[in-house]
Amino acid sequence: MNNENCLANILRVINVLQNNAEDKCDTNNSCTRPFLGDIPSIVCFNTRLVTFYRCDNTLVTLPYTFEGLSGTTTIFRVENVTDTSVTVRLIRDNTDGTYTNTNTFATINLGCICAIRCIGDVNLLNV
């Protein structure tokens, strides 16, 4: 298996997880809930944020426009995956440790990528 397919497989798993995320948290308190104990706090996630590294160990950085302001980002949400490329949504890193999705998309050639780093799971609005 080559590097491109390995990365594509990882990205496909992330995409499936995101596509299967629930819009609402399961607050089911019946006998059939799939866990034991109380629900002290519920956090729902619908996105696994990722960054991409080129073979020269530099981060992929892309420009976006959000609410009339321009910026650049290294943080992305996987939207679609093929064997050779990934379509991503560019994510704005807010100064308060939260993230906002933009309406800017890009397609990245996986042949130019040697590593993926998962930043963490978050709940983005309007994805």
pLDDT recorded at residue 92: 95
**Across the 127 residues of the chain, what is the mean pLDDT of every consecutive 10-residue run?**
74 90 59 54 80 96 93 97 96 91 95 93 82
pLDDT recorded at residue 43: 63
Q: What is the CA radius of gyration of the chain?
A: 17
pLDDT recorded at residue 123: 87
- Residue 121 CA to residue 55 CA, distance in Å, equals 25
41-57 residues labelled b (16+ CB within 10 A) or e (exposed): eeeeebbbbbbbeeeee
Report the predicted TM-score, pTM, of the whole model to 2 decimal places: 0.81
Residue pair 74/108 in contact (Cβ under 8 Å)? The answer is no
3-state helix, strand, coil in the chain (%, to 5): 15, 45, 40
Which DSSP state fits 68? T
pLDDT recorded at residue 125: 79
